[in-house]
Every structure is written in structure tokens, then in C-alpha cells.
Amino acid sequence: MLLRPFRVSIFFALLTGILLSVAANSQKAPAPKIDFAHEVLPVLKAHCFQCHSGAQKQGGLSLDSRALILKGGVSGASMVPGNGSKSLLVMRALGQGGKARMPLGFAPLPDAQITLLRTWIDQGADWPETTTKKHWAYVRPVRSKLPKVSNAAWIRNPIDAFVLARMERAGLKPSAEADRITLLRRVTLDLTGLPPTPAEVDAFLADRAPNAYAKVVDRLLASPHYGERMALPWLDAARYADSNGFQQDGDTYQYIWRDWVVNAYNSNMPFDQFTIQQLAGDLLPNATEDQKIATGFNRCHLLNGEGGAIAEEQRNVILFDRVDVTATTWLGATLACAQCHDHKYDPLTQRDYYSMMAFFNNVPESGTPPFGGQYRIAEPAMLTAGEDDKAKLKAFEEQISRAKSEAATYTQTHSADIDKAWRAWAETALKDVPQAPGLDAWQAVGPFPAASFDATYDMAFPPESVVNDGKLHWNAHPEWADGKVYQLDGENSAFYLTRVIRAASPQSLALSFGSDDGIKVWLNGKQIVADKALRAALPDQDKVTVALQPGANVLLVKIVNGGGIGGFYFKATTQTIPASIVQDWKDLPTTSRPVAASQRIRDYYLASFPPPELKAQQEKLAALIKERDTYRTTLPRVMIMSDAMPRKMHILDRGNYEMPRDEVQADTPGSLGPLPPDAPHNRLGLAQWLVGAGNPLTARVQVNRLWQTFFGKGLVKTSENFGTQSEPPTHPELLDWLAVEFRESGWDVKHIVRLMVSSAAYRQSSKISPLLRQRDPENKLLARGARFRLPSLFLRDVALVSSGLLDARLGGKPVYPYQPKGIWDGLAITNERDFTYPQSKGADLFRRSLYTFWRRTVAPSNMFDASVRNTCKVRLTVTSTPLHALTTLNDVTWVEAGRALAERVIKEAGSSPDSRLTEAFRRVCARRPAPEELLILRRGLNRALAAYRADPKAAEAYLHAGESPRDPKLDPAEHAAYASVCLAIYNLDEALTRE
């Protein structure tokens, strides 16, 4: 008995020893090998390179290579390979040795990152030579071999082999596949931006075929809504908007290009053609209208219409923008950093920058849009027309052709009479008189002196016309109908000029206005120019032709917002006989070509003094042409690209357009490879180079952006920057495999999309285990599905389609859905146009968010997380700010959708509250609510119903949200109660996220 405790103690002593030995052995186990490129380099870039890389060598220390770190700076070698604790790099990060803790002026490195650096140095500070020779993104991708994995049964396509291999190296396993409803909702939202309908959910659940999911993917890729969804990130990259920004923010017709993008995605246009047409469609042989429209990509820039804007400066700003957008969108390169100097981190020089800019320098543009009117379209632009418009224009052309034929038939039939008439006229008008009788005089009214009229007359207001009270006075001519006294209003800067023009016979008179002012013109009491700003930098520009009657003609000109007296002039010219016609007559007896000379005189006579019947035909023709031209002005004009104005390109000293230096030719960045030998040195050559086999970046950048679309973030998180300051790819072999697959598939976008959304990696559940939360909180290793908030444009569309309000038409003019009252009031800075928000009516209120009018200066308020569309943006923005909740809980769009969804389920889902609530939940979240969730919804319904029964006026007020009709037969209290619960469903976390 005495020995038993002793034996027990021995047993525990032995057990303790064994455990201590195991613990000791485990402590001595070597740490996993540190991956320099994916673990150490990102730390150095994020915290150290700003002061110790490239040209920045604070303390003489550069961290750009292993050799430079070993060399160190003024304090000596920065590391001792094999001994991290004795390395200056670690000591300074810890603040040891009495020195300031690095990084200086910033937060200290986290302990985990310091441990990482110490362990890396302990392991010998391995720094693969490839990371110092050439950055991975600048090396042409090659198709990696599929890695071997332990769990091969999990793999559905090659993507999964790379994802699983990375997981297994980290000791992780993939998550289970998401349930079928979650998976269907995920892929439907990802490929169309809309939720699945209950019928689509039921059909998928009932289809137990092995390829049931593949059939869903094919159906969604064939949906016209696929193109609408895929266009959204491209519009962000292209900085697309429906106005040009800055003062007065004139509207444009760039929605024509937006529709081109949607159609290109729906038709699965190969990405190389998608690229070439957008960058250089106008330069293709026999370019079609669609190919020219495609070039609107590079006309989506801002246009500065401010009065003080310098045109050439703004033209260069536009060029800078094009270089940045092209480099970011296709190359993932921060080329804009080289605008003023060579890039500090990437092999991109200032010469590279301006050589790239030279590709875009031949566009015949001034840099500023024209003044006046709602639309500010800067040339070059192209008139576009829909099928109905084309049919109407064709009808106009046919009528004009018939009218011309009738006039030609008349002149041919009456040829002898016409010959006799024009010769008789010529004998009188051309033999002795050098020109036809014209206008006899200008007759001034009021204090203006009379002046004789010859061919031209320039009028500036004399100083003595200003009286002491600061107003210019004169009496209106008695023949002027209203008999008012017009005056210069010093406050509004509006003044009037009256002239009497006497004509000996019916005459046409060309008026040319030279002013920065708004002009209105009346002739004999009839307004002929209304609210038009006419400019005449040259005397013969901006002519307005008026028809004068014999005798006195009263001309009234109103000058609005003039820049002071004397800043205005106008010029008038009579319809004189051209000197060439007089000379033809004189040369007829001796000319070697009397027939041609006679024909010119004959044509001039018929145009100026036609017989009555011919004049009627000419007037009919002129009216048809005017009607056609007026109709054409109502059609959209999309801004496009052109190389019609060759210009020299110079390096600009620090980007200053007034300080040109060396001339450069259009070329690609030297570090990324030259243009092919047979490629033209224009935009077409640039586009071909971008999608050429030798370009290392374009395919990588594009598949990374597609991956970002479906997994929340790219394999390279910094999707706008693939340079040395970027985050390295989490799966570099997968990125390269996808890039090569994309190119070798013929740049087939739908093929790559299908691969991604069909992969086992994509189909994983997004539920996060404690292990994954600890080991991989950012899901870099893709051991679970991605879960993220839906973009605001999606949330609005989900509300519209689930409630039954959505108008699913494709394409067309932008629409004006609900916005807060007075949202555009700040734009009313001119009396030239009304900036009241023109809210749409009827079905236009419920079109997809893609079609909402996007004013640059005041973006749609309920699109709270979208880009401002002023600059290129290629990385997704995810937000959960209070603005998000304020919008989805209070915006009329969601409140109305809740009311419409309530009416729908009351009518269609039976009389049971549970069946109605279940149907509402399904339409938003796709699945049926769990019993405990249904209980919560029913309690909410009962509380709301009691409140609205007690306050009928509140129920009525709640149901008046929005302009869609509601059924007056429904009980208001019941309807409002269901509406409030439906609004709550729209605001569930599950409804606001993709999962």
C-alpha cells in the first residue's frame, strides 16, 4: 500500500518528462520556409520603400536588392544573414540601440511582421535573383503546369488545381460547396446583376442532372442582362458619364457608346477586337459606324467649358487623361507618374510617357466644348440614328431627290426660254453694270449717325452714346411694331440696336456677328435668331441670312450679357454678282471654253432670278433640306476619335504645355517591348501592340479584373497597379495560366468567365471557420467563398425586379429616376439653361441603374459607393457606411419597392400571412425563411398592423411613396404593414450581400 503512491508518482514523472521532451522537440522544429516574394517583399514595399528605394535613399540605405541591404547605409550593414536579432534592419524596427523606431513618422511595424523579417534573416535572407532582375509583371506569362494535389477529387477545372495546391502548402482544406440556393443566387447576381426568380430557384432545385449548374451558367451567359452587368466595371474604367463636368456641366450623347459596350459583351466580342475598336476603330479599313462609335471610350473625358479655361491647356489635360486611362485599363501601369519625371519605381521614363501621348495627339479638338444650349459636344463627333430615325432620314432624302429631279426637268423642258431670259438679263446686268442693284443705305435710329452702305459695315457703339446715368437710350424706329424705348440695362448688360435697311428689290442679306454675347435678332417684327451665342473670330463666320423685302426693313438686334459697349459688331454683305460671273460674260466672245462660261452664268441667273414656277420648286427643295437638317439636329451626336490633325509631340518640362523640350515620336514604353515591325505608328498600332502576343501585361490585367468581379478582389489586389509597388499575386502560376488561356482562346471573355464561375473554388461556401478566421482572415488562399456587400447599383435593381417594378428594356437614352428635391440647384449658375432635375415619368422611373443619367458634378445620390466617373477606376469599392443604411431604409426607391412587393405578395401568395411573408423573403433572398425567421417577420407584421390600424392617416401617407399606381381596393393598414416588413427584408444583411 505504501508503494502505490510512489509508483503513481513515478508514472506521472515519466509522463511529464515525455511531454516536456515532445514540447522541446516541437520548439526546435524549423519554421516554415519564408517566401520572400509573397511575404517579405510586400512588407518592405508597404513600410520601407518610400524612404529607402529608387531615388529615395535616406541615410544612404537602399532596400532594392539583397546586395544593397548587405551594403547598408551610413550606419553600416543592415542585416547579418543567419542572425535576425543582430541585424540592424530588425533592431531599428524594434527601436533598439537608442535610435528612433522605424518607419520614422509612421506607426511601428506589427510584431508579426517584425518576426517575419527576423525569421527570414535567420533563414539566410534568401532573395531570388529573379526578383531583382526583372519584375514579374514585365515578364511574358507562360502556361504553368498544373500542380499535383492530394485531394484531386475536389478539382472541377484547372483553376482548382492551382487554388488547392496553394491551400495544401499552407495546411488548409477547401470549404464545402455552398447550398444550391445560395450558389444560384450568387452566380445569377454575378452574371446578370439581378436575383433569381422563385421559378428559377424551383427549376434548379428540381434539376438533379450532373450538369444542372452548367446549364444555369450557360443560360445566364446568354441573357441580355449579362452585357448590362459586365458593362458596369468597364464604364468605371472609362470614366463614363452623361455630362462633361465643370461649369454648366453640358450634357453629351455618350450613351450611344455605353450601349455599344453592352452589345459587345452580349455578343462576346473577342477582347482583342474590343480593345482595337475602342482605341482605334476609326482607323480600321472601311471603318463602320459601330467601329467609330466604339472610339467613344477615349471621348468620355471631362470637358472644361469654363469661361476662363485656356483651350490648349485643357487639350493637354485631356491628353494626360487618355494616357492615364489607357495605361491603367490595359496595362495596370501607373504611367501617369512619369508625366513630370522618370518613374521612381518602375522602368517607365518621361520619354515613354510622351511617346505614348503622341498616339493621341492628332485628334482635331480644341480642348473646350462649344458654348450654349443643353448639349456641349466637342468635335470630332458623329451623327447617329436608330432604325426609325434612319427610315425618316431616308424618306427626306427621297423627297429631296424628287424635288431636285423636278427642278432639273423644268429647266430641261424650258431650256430655250431660260437661255433667252438669262442672255437678256446679262446684256443689262453684266455688260455695263459690275453688280446688281443692292441696298441703298444703312439708316441709323436715335443717337447713332447714319452711314452709307457699300459692301460691308462694322458698327461699334460710340462713347458719346452712354449718358450720365449709365444707360444707353434711343427711340425705337416708328416702323418697329411695339414702339418701345429700348435701353441698355447696366445691371443685366442687355442692350438693343435698331437699324432700317432699305432694299431696291427683294434681296438676301448675310449678317455676321462678332461677339461673346448672346444674340437675338428680329426682322420686321419676326424673330429670326433666338437665344443663340454667335461668335465670329473671322468676319465671315456664323452667318445668318435674312430675306429683305423692297423698301424699308427694320432690323432689331438684342445683345445679352455684353462685355461692355464697343465689344460688339456685326457685318452685312449684299448679294453682289461674283466677279467671276462678270468676267465670264466679258470673256465669252474670246474664251476657249464658252460653253462652260455660259453654263456658270446660266446657273447663277437661275439661282438668283428664277422663273416663278422654278422658284416655287426651289423653295420646296430648300424647305425639305431645312426640315431634314432641323430633324438631324435632334439626333444624338456621339463624340469619337480621329487622326485628322497631325501634330508634333514634345516632352513637356514637368508637364507644362508651355515648356516643350525634345520632340518624340509615337512609341510604346521601352521596357514593355516595341511595336511590331509592320505595325503603324498610330492608335491602331498601339491597340494591336496591347493585345499582341509579346505584351506581358494586358492579358494578366484583364483576367485579374474578371477574377475581381467574381471573387471580390483580384489575384493581384492592386488591380490598378501591377508595377513594383503593387501587391504580389496570391496565386502567380494561376494568374499566368489564366492569362495564356485567355489569349490562346481567341480572347474569349465568356470562356474565362465560365471557367471562373464553374470552378470548385467559386462554388465554396462563404462560411468562415475559426481556423480560417485566424489563418487567412482576408481569404487570400481562397479556402472559402467570397462574401461582400452588393454594389448600390445592384441593390436598386434587386429592389426593382423583386417588387415587379423593373422595366427591363435594353439601351437608349439615360433616364432620371427619383432624386432628392433640389439636388441640382447648385448647378443653376447661369440663366442660359434650367438645371431643375427633370424627373422621369412612368416606366422610365424603373429602368436599371445602368441607365440612370450620370451628371459628373452631382452624381446620383443613391449610388453611394459608385465612382465619381471623373477619373479611371478599376478596383471595386465596397462600403457599409451609415449612408448605405440611410439610403436603403429611407430612399423613395426602396420604400416604393417595399410597397409594390407587398401588393404583389398580398395578391399572389394566398391569404396566409406566413405564405405571403415567405414569398416576399424568397423574392429578395431566394431561399425560404427558417421557422424562427418567419416568426420574427410575423411579429413585425403584427406590430406594424396594430400601429397602422390605430393611425390610418399614417398608413395612407406611407403608401403614397413613389409614383407607381397602387390598388385602392387593398386595405391600407394591411398593405402598409406588409410594405414595412418588405422594406425590412430589403435591409437584411443577407439581402444586402451576395450571400
User: In sequence order, what DSSP letters do the residues of 704-716 get, joined into one string?
Assistant: HHHHHHHHSS-SS
Residue type present at position 899:
R
Task: Give the mean model confidence (pLDDT) for residues 51-74.
Answer: 80
Where on the phi/psi map is residue 962: left (φ > 0), alpha (ψ -120 to 50), or beta?
A: left
Task: Give the mean model confidence (pLDDT) for residues 539-543.
Answer: 49
| CB proximity list for 430: less than 8 A, separation 6 or greater | 577, 581, 582, 585, 586, 601
**pLDDT reading at 446 higher than 60:** no
Which pLDDT value is given to residue 441?
A: 31
**pLDDT reading at 471 higher than 50:** no
Q: What is the DSSP letter of 561?
A: S
The answer to whether 472 and 565 are in contact (CB under 8 A) is yes
Tens digit of each residue's pLDDT (9 = 90 or more) over 669-699: 999 999 988 899 999 999 999 999 999 999 9
Tell me how far apart the alpha carbons of residues 938 and 708 are, in angstroms, rounded to a whole number.
Answer: 39
pTM (two decimals): 0.77
Which pLDDT value is given to residue 245?
A: 87
Tell me how far apart the alpha carbons of residues 785 and 183 are, in angstroms, rounded to a whole number.
Answer: 10
**pLDDT reading at 276 higher than 80:** yes
Give the start-end residues of each E strand in 643-710.
649-652, 660-664
Tell me how far apart the alpha carbons of residues 979 and 977 are, in angstroms, rounded to a whole number.
Answer: 5
Which pLDDT value is given to residue 450?
A: 27
**pLDDT reading at 645 higher than 90:** yes
Tell me how far apart the alpha carbons of residues 658 and 652 are, in angstroms, rounded to a whole number.
Answer: 8
Tell me how far apart the alpha carbons of residues 71 and 361 are, in angstroms, rounded to a whole number.
Answer: 46
Residue type present at position 446:
G
Higher pLDDT, 130 or 979: 979
β-partners of residue 877 are none
**Helices first, then strands: H and E counts in the chain:** 34, 17
Whole-number Cα distances in Å, 5 to 19, 200, 477: 21, 72, 132
Task: Give the mean model confidence (pLDDT) for residues 20-36.
Answer: 57
- Best-predicted range by mean pLDDT among 23-27, 34-38, 185-189, 542-546? 185-189
How much is the CA Rg of the chain, to the nearest whole Å? 38
Residue type present at position 398:
E
- Which DSSP string do the residues of 299-333 spell out, in sequence order? G-S-----TT--HHHHHHHHHHHHHHHHIIIII--
| CB proximity list for 369: less than 8 A, separation 6 or greater | 244, 250, 303, 305, 376, 377, 378
Task: Give the mean model confidence (pLDDT) for residues 457-485.
Answer: 35
Tell me how far apart the alpha carbons of residues 538 and 327 are, in angstroms, rounded to a whole number.
Answer: 40
What is the average pLDDT score of the chain? Answer: 84
Task: Give the mean model confidence (pLDDT) for residues 56-65.
Answer: 80
- Best-predicted range by mean pLDDT among 380-384, 483-487, 535-539, 700-704? 700-704
Cell for 228?
448590362
Tell me how far apart the alpha carbons of residues 249 and 990 are, in angstroms, rounded to a whole number.
Answer: 39
- Which DSSP string do the residues of 35-48 spell out, in sequence order? -IIIIIHHHHHHHT
Which pLDDT value is given to residue 486?
A: 40
Grade residue 285 by pLDDT with cuts at 50, 70 and 90: very high
- Positive or negative torsion for Cα 348, 353, 355, 359: positive
Task: Give the mean model confidence (pLDDT) for residues 926-945.
Answer: 97
- With b meaning 16 or more CB within 10 Å and e meaning fewer, what string describes 127-147? beeebeeebbbbeebeebeeb
Tens digit of each residue's pLDDT (9 = 90 or more) over 729-788: 999 999 999 999 999 999 999 999 999 999 999 999 999 999 999 999 999 999 999 999
**pLDDT reading at 16 higher than 50:** no
Report the half-sphere exposure of 563 (CA within 13 A, side-chain side): 8
Closest by CA position to 681, among listed 363, 356, 365:
356
**pLDDT reading at 425 higher than 60:** yes
Tens digit of each residue's pLDDT (9 = 90 or more) over 167-219: 999 999 999 999 999 999 999 999 999 999 999 999 999 999 999 999 999 99
Task: Give the mean model confidence (pLDDT) for residues 970-990.
Answer: 97
Closest by CA position to 606, among listed 445, 426, 443:
426
Residue type present at position 2:
L
| CB proximity list for 576: less than 8 A, separation 6 or greater | 435, 436, 438, 455
Which pLDDT value is given to residue 542?
A: 54
Task: Give the mean model confidence (pLDDT) for residues 69-81.
Answer: 83
Share of the chain above pLDDT 90, in %: 57
- Positive or negative torsion for Cα 547, 442, 538, 658: negative
Task: Give the mean model confidence (pLDDT) for residues 272-285.
Answer: 98
Q: Give the residue carrying C-alpha cell 427643295.
A: 621
Whole-number Cα distances in Å, 716 to 5, 80, 410, 902: 64, 32, 74, 44
Task: Give the mean model confidence (pLDDT) for residues 283-292.
Answer: 96
Residue type present at position 485:
V
Task: Give the mean model confidence (pLDDT) for residues 140-147.
Answer: 94
Tell me how far apart the alpha carbons of residues 799 and 805 are, in angstroms, rounded to a whole number.
Answer: 8
Higher pLDDT, 967 or 832: 967
**pLDDT reading at 351 higher than 50:** yes
- Positive or negative torsion for Cα 461, 463, 469, 475: negative
Torsion angle of the four alpha carbons 958, 959, 963, 964, in this order, in degrees rounded to the nearest 10: 150
Which pLDDT value is given to residue 598?
A: 86
Tell me how far apart the alpha carbons of residues 907 and 905 are, in angstroms, rounded to a whole number.
Answer: 5
**pLDDT reading at 79 higher than 90:** no
Tell me how far apart the alpha carbons of residues 558 and 499 are, in angstroms, rounded to a whole number.
Answer: 12
User: Long-range contacts made by residues 593-601, C-beta under 8 angstroms, separation at least 24?
Assistant: 601/422, 601/426, 601/430
Which pLDDT value is given to residue 733?
A: 96
Angle between helices 952-959 and 972-986 (to 10 degrees): 50
Rounded to the nearest 5 percent, the helix, strand and coil shares of the chain are: 45, 10, 45
Tell me how far apart the alpha carbons of residues 113 and 40 are, in angstroms, rounded to a whole number.
Answer: 8
**pLDDT reading at 902 higher than 90:** yes
Comparing 381-395, 416-430, 567-581, 602-616, the range with the smallest average pLDDT is: 567-581
Task: Give the mean model confidence (pLDDT) for residues 512-530.
Answer: 67
Q: What is the DSSP letter of 571?
A: E
Higher pLDDT, 178 or 481: 178
**pLDDT reading at 7 higher than 90:** no
Tell me how far apart the alpha carbons of residues 359 and 649 are, in angstroms, rounded to a whole number.
Answer: 9
Share of the chain above pLDDT 70, in %: 82
